[in-house]
Amino acid sequence: MSYKVEKVNPYDSDHPKNEQVIRMFNEIAPNYDRLNGTLSLGIDAYWRRDALTELRKYHPRHILDIATGTGDFAILAQRMLQPEKINAVDISDGMMEIGKEKVEKRGLGKTILFENQDCSAMTFADDSFDAATVAFGVRNFENIDQSFQEVLRVLKPGGVFLFLELTTPDKTPMKELYATYTKYVIPFLSGLFATEQRAYQYLPASIAAFPQGREMMLILKKNGFTNIRIRRYTLGICTLYLAEKPMV
C-alpha cells in the first residue's frame, strides 16, 4: 500500500523520492540547524527532550537513530540516556558531515557512529537494537511500510520504536494560526536565510499529506508493532508515536 505523503516530492515526480530528499538535504545542510530552530521558535527542543524521557524506562543500551540529519537527536539521546552506542543513519552525507563535526567537538565520536543507510533496506542484523528513534523524518520515507518492517526486524523483542512528526492542527485557533504561519512566515524566514525555497514549500505539503494520529497507529499495527500510543504537543503541531516489537 502507498500513502499520499510518499508521492509528495521536493522537486518533481520524475525521480525517486529518496534521490530528491538527498538532493534537498545536501543543499540546505549548511543552514539547516539555524533555520530549523528559528522556524520552530525553539519549541522543538522541548518536544525532543520530553520524547526521550519516554525511553528511560526501557534503559536502551544500543540505539538506532534513523534520519539522523545533523545528529541533534542522537546527541541529546546520548546526554539523557547514556547508552553504550548509537548508530546514527541517514541518506544525506551533507547533513551527516555537519553531525560528525558536532559529535567530535563533544568527544562522542566513539559512541555515536554515523553511516549512510536507507532505512528501507538496512544492513544491520536482526534483533540488534533496544530502541529505534526518528525525529521529524518519517515524512521523508519513500516507502513507509517497508521502512517500518525494517525497523521491526532490527529491534530486539520488546524493543521500542519512537518517532516525532509534525502534524496539522485541527482545532481553532491553532488551525488558523498554523495555516498563516506556513503560508507566509515559513517562506519569509527561508528567504532571509537564502535557503532552497522548494525545501520549505515541501515542508507544509508533506505534513498535510502525512498519515496522522489513529491512521498512523493503524499503520504501525499493520506492520507488526504492539502497545502503540501517541502524545500530542502544542495543540497538535507535533505528535509523538511510541510502539514496541512483540516479545517472542
pLDDT digits (tens, 9 = 90+) for 76-102: 999 999 999 999 999 999 999 999 999
* 153: Cα within 13 Å, side-chain hemisphere: 14
**58, 152, 163 from 47: Cα distances, Å:** 19, 24, 11
pLDDT confidence bin for 173, thresholds 50/70/90 = confident
Taking only the tens place, the pLDDT of each residue in 95-109 is 999 999 999 999 999
Checking if the pLDDT of 230 tops 90, the result is: yes
Mean pLDDT, to the nearest integer, of 157-176? 89
Ranked by mean pLDDT, which of 19-33, 102-116, 193-207 comes out on top?
102-116
Q: How far apart are CA 24 and CA 120, in angstroms?
A: 19
Burial class (CB in 10 A: 0-12, 13-18, 19+), 144: buried
26, 93 contact by CB (below 8 A):
yes
Checking if the pLDDT of 144 tops 60, the result is: yes
Checking if the pLDDT of 188 tops 70, the result is: no
Checking if the pLDDT of 7 tops 90, the result is: yes
The reply to whether CATH 3.40.50.150 applies to domain 4-244 is yes
Q: Which three cell numbers stand for residue 90?
A: 541517514
Mean pLDDT, to the nearest integer, of 37-52? 86
Taking only the tens place, the pLDDT of each residue in 199-215 is 778 888 899 999 999 99
Q: Between 200 and 245, whose confidence is greater?
A: 245
Query: H or E stretch including 66?
Result: strand 62-66
Mean pLDDT, to the nearest integer, of 17-34? 90
Ranked by mean pLDDT, which of 42-46, 197-201, 216-220 comes out on top?
216-220
Q: Between 205 and 66, whose confidence is greater?
A: 66
247, 233 contact by CB (below 8 A):
no
Region of poorest pLDDT, from 46-55, 117-126, 190-199: 190-199
In the chain, where are the structural domains located?
Answer: 4-244
Query: H or E stretch including 115?
Result: strand 112-116
Q: How far apart are CA 86 and CA 139, in angstroms?
A: 22
The per-residue pLDDT for 224 is: 98
Mean pLDDT, to the nearest integer, of 50-68? 97
To the nearest whole number, what is the mean pLDDT of the chain?
91
Checking if the pLDDT of 231 tops 80, the result is: yes
Nearest CA among 227, 204, 16 for reference residue 120: 16
Q: Which three cell numbers stand for residue 115?
A: 553511516
Checking if the pLDDT of 194 tops 70, the result is: no
